[in-house]
Chains A and B, each alone.
Chain A
Amino acid sequence: MLDADLLLRLSEDFLAWAAYFGIELYDWQAEAFGQASRRAGGRFMHPLAGISVPRGNGKSWGSSAVGAWRLTTGPAPQEILSVALDIEGAKVTLEHGKRILRSHRDLEQAVEFRADSIVVPSTGSRWIVRSREHGSSRGLHPDVNLYDEIGWVRDDELFASLLAAQASVLDPFTLVTSTVGRSRSGPLWRVKELAEAAG
């Protein structure tokens, strides 16, 4: 039986959760995703966080690990939303999430894997994917948004819509990940500017 203190610690600390369930992260992933998802006083220190690294380094995997962490430990019912340039891209994150959750028996047994979602029957939490059309995520109030390849989007409609959807969420978190896009504008650039302004 896990004691309540340990459960709450796993819920507040992504890296502790990953270590507890034997989910291996590269050093850069532990540093970047650990920083991005830091919590204090029961809230995310950075409700909006961005991670940009070259292709093939495992940013989607890291993002998925964060999704799996919130799905299994966030105050219930959690809603995790994956989006990307298209629905197939969004499913990449979800599929990584499935692999992560299948890697540990206690996690695997707690969730139901569906074609386009992962559900936790005991808490009502769910992880869903939506297409890039901003209308497709209207009406949702995700606790966590995982937006992959944001550096390559043509406009910021979905980004703005996702942030607006979290206005009523008590403890929101949006994690954007991408390779570096060509333009010096758009949501990824905006996140970078905001981060620099915040010091």
Chain B
Amino acid sequence: MGGRRLLKGGAPRLLGRHDGLEGWAYRRAFDALAEAFDLPTPLLRFEAGRVAALRVQLEAATQALTAAQRARRIGRGRRPNAQAIERLARRQGLADGSYSQGLEKLRELAGRNGRQDFPALVAQAHREKANAGR
């Protein structure tokens, strides 16, 4: 049974239980996103939670792939075959693509969140000055 309390910083409870290694990795990923982007709305926080969950999957997939490659190279006893490595590499690649895509969409969404960036504000000031001079 997953916890019911709200998570710190408004992170969505996507993993059900948020204790353990995955919960810790999710928290670390969400905090990093909250530091990089403004997340004032529930939608943005949910999207950030999605990206954080994708990062957890990416980290797990990368660790599994690296461990299998190492085991095949220097392990003893039964070692993963080439097909198993290939399967893990494909999984890692997919996780990497999903994370990158999610992060890009979050960046776009956070950027559009009613806050104009600095160059846009300067451009607006230039336009207003030009209009006032007419």
Contacts and interface: CB of A to CB of B under 8 A. Distances in A.
B118 A110 contact: yes
A76 interface: yes
B118 A107 contact: yes
Task: Give the secondary structure class of B's interface.
Answer: helix
Interface in B90-125: 111, 116-125
Interface residues of B, number: 14
A11 B125 contact: yes
B117 A73 contact: no
B31 to A, nearest CB: 16
Contacts of B124: 4
Interface in B14-59: none
Contacts of A109: 111, 117
A11 B118 CA distance: 11
B119 A4 contact: no
The 8 closest A-B pairs by CB, nearest first: A110-B117, A122-B120, A7-B125, A4-B125, A76-B123, A72-B119, A120-B119, A123-B119
27 contacts: A2-B121, A4-B124, A7-B125, A8-B122, A8-B129, A10-B122, A11-B122, A11-B125, A71-B119, A72-B118, A72-B119, A73-B119, A73-B122, A76-B123, A106-B117, A106-B118, A107-B118, A109-B111, A110-B117, A110-B119, A120-B117, A120-B119, A122-B116, A122-B119, A122-B123, A123-B119, A123-B123
